[in-house]
């Protein structure tokens, strides 16, 4: 992503490879500030209650009207665990406890990294928010597989239900193409 204007002094930037670097960056034409554009970190979780998982139906684009696990962009000064807990609450009003890291997906073609946790619901209190028009617990057999919002979420759920059969949930890293 080209950064057109310097965040330090407001002058235009130009695309070039800075000294001692190997990537093209946006460099200020006035003060020389180097601007970096890095992948976005998305954090979320698989909220569990008994044998069910909590999904939310998106009320925002992209994929409005499709089902997903609660997840969203990590904020500055926020740990990945705190981000996953916050995103879950923002999308479902549910409070969760992080169990363990579960999946990391490198989605290079959209400059994103998804970091998903297993989490336990602390209560059965949850519901729609301004980001979700519906929030429900699902048994595996009832997951709306054809209406899952994102490929990464579908893969996370498929892996989870496969691993649940053995009760072993190893942390793994995948590249999504």
Q: Encode pLDDT of 70-117 as tens digits.
A: 999 999 999 999 999 999 999 999 999 999 999 999 999 999 999 999
Where b means 16+ CB within 10 Å and e means fewer, 122-152 reads eeeebebbebbeebbbeeeeebeeeebbbeb
Task: Kindly give the pairing relationship between strand 40-49 and strand 52-58.
Answer: antiparallel
Same fold, 1-37 and 40-175: no
Give the pLDDT confidence of 26-36 residue by residue, as tens digits. Answer: 999 999 999 99
Options 3.40.640.10, 2.30.40.10, 1.10.357.20, 2.20.70.10; which CATH number does 1-37 get?
2.20.70.10
Of 151, 92, 158, the C-alpha closest to 125 is: 92
Q: CB burial class (10 A; 0-12, 13-18, 19+) of residue 164?
A: middle
Q: CB burial class (10 A; 0-12, 13-18, 19+) of residue 28?
A: buried
Rg of the chain, C-alpha, whole Å: 19
Taking the C-alpha atoms of residue 110 and residue 40, their distance in angstroms, rounded to an integer, is: 9
Taking the C-alpha atoms of residue 118 and residue 105, their distance in angstroms, rounded to an integer, is: 15
Q: Give the mean model confidence (pLDDT) for residues 133-157.
A: 98
Average pLDDT of the chain to the nearest whole number? 97
Q: How confident is the model at residue 23 (pLDDT cuts 50, 70, 90)?
A: very high
Q: How confident is the model at residue 177 (pLDDT cuts 50, 70, 90)?
A: confident
The reported pLDDT for the residue numbered 84 is 98
pLDDT at residue 1 is higher than 90: no
The answer to whether the pTM exceeds 0.85 is: yes
The reported pLDDT for the residue numbered 20 is 92
Q: CB burial class (10 A; 0-12, 13-18, 19+) of residue 74?
A: buried
Q: Do 54 and 160 contact (CB within 8 A), yes or no?
A: no
Taking the C-alpha atoms of residue 88 and residue 123, their distance in angstroms, rounded to an integer, is: 13
Taking the C-alpha atoms of residue 121 and residue 125, their distance in angstroms, rounded to an integer, is: 9
Q: Give the mean model confidence (pLDDT) for residues 131-136.
A: 98
> What are the domain boundaries of the chain?
1-37, 40-175
Q: How confident is the model at residue 2 (pLDDT cuts 50, 70, 90)?
A: confident
Superfamily holding 40-175: Nucleoside Triphosphate Pyrophosphohydrolase (3.90.79.10)
**Distance of alpha carbon 8 from its chain centroid, rounded?**
29
């Amino acid at each position: 992503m080209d950064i057109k204007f310097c965040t330090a002094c407001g002058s235009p930037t130009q695309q070039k490879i800075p000294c001692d670097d190997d990537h093209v960056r946006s460099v200020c034409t006035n003060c020389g500030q180097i601007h970096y554009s890095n992948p976005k970190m998305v954090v979320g979780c698989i909220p569990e209650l008994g044998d069910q998982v909590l999904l939310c139906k998106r009320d925002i684009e992209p994929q409005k009207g499709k089902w997903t696990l609660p997840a969203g962009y990590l904020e500055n000064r926020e740990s990945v665990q705190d981000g996953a807990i916050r995103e879950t609450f923002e999308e479902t009003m549910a409070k969760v406890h992080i169990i363990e890291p579960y999946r990391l997906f490198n989605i290079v073609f959209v400059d994103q990294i998804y970091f998903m946790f297993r989490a336990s619901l602390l209560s059965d209190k949850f519901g729609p928010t301004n980001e979700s028009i519906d929030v429900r617990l699902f048994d595996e057999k009832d997951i709306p597989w054809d209406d899952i919002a994102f490929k990464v979420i579908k893969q996370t759920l498929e892996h989870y239900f496969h691993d649940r059969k053995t009760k072993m949930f190893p942390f793994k890293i995948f590249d999504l193409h």
